[in-house]
Structure 1
């Protein structure tokens, strides 16, 4: 048993690496950027809250697991900014990292890679909700930080609309709220109108 505890402890320390991956999203109204572990926790909580609000029959345990594994690949690959030109390469690098983590002798989660694949490319209603909420949270942080990350990276309204367009088909009410906030951000000068 001592060896097992040592191995799982080593595994948990490897997962702890997610705390060292900084994102471009400012939290607490612009105080500092968040790390990917904070984002994963926030994503899990947000998915839970939205699953209750939407009154659909989501598999809540599956949804939370998908949220928790969502960014594990960033331990090696780092965070890829939503508006980056390199987004298409991120998937392969992140998957290699998740495969490596899954092979750790202290990993007792047998379906870690399968869960990661589902959140990345899956079509379950849990995976689709996760994708919506994963886009919604950084957007929300941009609204509360007066568009700080948008301004830092010279992001335009058209870019934001393009990257969030899929929400309209998944969650029309959330998309309607989102569009109103985009217009507000433009009016405030936080988001470039073009």
Structure 2
């Protein structure tokens, strides 16, 4: 039984290596190089540990870590959808659910069920952990874009209203981080790197 589990787990570990090849639109801090999903997930995990004291409510940090580390694994099959894409909605899609079932389904049953449940909880964004995990997911690219002279905002002509609308979700996970983020957004307008 244990050896069967190990074989399934190793296959899963090999499969998720593909996340390193999923390129995001955002670029690394002060850089021209695009971030990949693995780097993004690692950075969110570190942010969750470092910034956990700023959560609005008491959170289980380990659960948040699980969420941010697995939330984009589905993109191995479904691809990365740019948050400001005007054609395809950046929300839970049928493709993502199908991907979650296939990829997490490689694991032993109990683990597969846990990972799918954690992924779904993140997507729904209702629990304290999911709200904070989503706050990290929205905060990181904001920091990247401000470090890159507007980054994807400039590159794709994204307007202030759209950025503000997408980023205000941060407030559900952390009012203090949202206060900081809101200031960064407004400064970006003043500095001419985000257009109203």
Q: How does 1:32-51 map to 2 (within 5 A)?
A: 32-51=33-52
Partner of 1:93: 95
CA RMSD of aligned residues (A): 2.2
The correspondence for 1:129, drawn from 128, 132, 135, is 132
Kept in 1, the 8 Å contact 2:132–2:170? The answer is: no
In the alignment, the residues of structure 1 paired with residue 61 and residue 107 of structure 2 have an alpha-carbon distance, to the nearest angstrom, of 28
How far apart in 2 are the matches of 1:61 and 1:2?
A: 26
- 1:44-88: CA deviation from partner (whole Å, max 9, x where unpaired): 111111213448531111111111111111111111111113125
What do the CA deviations read for 1:128-164 (whole angstroms, capped 9, x no partner)? 1111111000000001111121111011111111112
Could you list the runs of 5+ residues in structure 1 that have no partner in the other structure? none
Q: How do 1:30-179 residues align onto structure 2 when only pairs under 5 Å count?
A: 30-54=31-55, 56-85=57-86, 86-87=88-89, 90-104=92-106, 109-110=111-112, 111-179=114-182
Contact 1:101 1:107 in 2 (8 A): no
- State the shift of 1:31 in Å: 2.7
Name the counterpart of 2:19: 18
> TM-score normalized by structure 1?
0.89
Cα 1:168–1:68 shift into 2, 3 Å: closer
Change (3 A) 1:142 1:105: closer
- Identify the range of structure 1 (75-84 vs 172-181) with the bigger mean alpha-carbon deviation: 172-181
Provide the C-alpha distance between the structure 2 equivalents of 1:89 and 1:40, rounded to a whole number of angstroms.
18
Q: Give TM-score scaled by structure 2 length.
A: 0.88
Could you give the per-residue CA deviations for residues 15-37 of structure 1, whole angstroms, max 9, x where no partner exists? Answer: 11111100011103123010011
Q: Contact 1:48–1:60 at 8 Å: present in 2 too?
A: yes
